[in-house]
Amino acid sequence: MKGVLFFLGSVFRWPVQNTREFVLLHFYLLGIYGLTFLMKNIGLDFYNFVFTAGLVSPLGYLICKGLPLDCLNYKAAIRREISSQN
């Protein structure tokens, strides 16, 4: 339960601490939704692939840029956050 509360707190702190990243992520997601909607209305059949690839690609990009693979381990995340505050 402590892990869930920690990550919930991190989600609430993120928009305030990194507003630019928060806004860019949401513009990206809206762009993917808009592109998928447009492709579906035009009649292109691979709009499902574009939607899936568009949503998964930021995670792949972050992993390539150095996102730790233990990012969902709350004990490791707490240690990283405490060390970044000092």
Domain boundaries, the chain: 2-85
What is the pTM assigned to this prediction? 0.69
Confidence of residue 86 (pLDDT cuts 50, 70, 90): low
Q: In the numeric block, which tokens belong to residue 63?
A: 């992993």
CA distance 84 to 64: 21
CA distance 12 to 68: 21
What pLDDT sits at residue 17?
82
- First-residue to last-residue Cα distance in the chain: 26
Q: Pick the more confident residue, 6 or 58.
A: 58
Place of tokens 């997601």: 29
* Number of helices and strands in the chain (H, E): 4, 0
Q: In the numeric block, which tokens belong to residue 54?
A: 């568009």
User: What would the pLDDT profile of 20-75 be if each residue is shown by its tens digit?
Assistant: 988 998 999 999 999 999 999 999 889 999 999 999 998 888 888 887 777 677 78
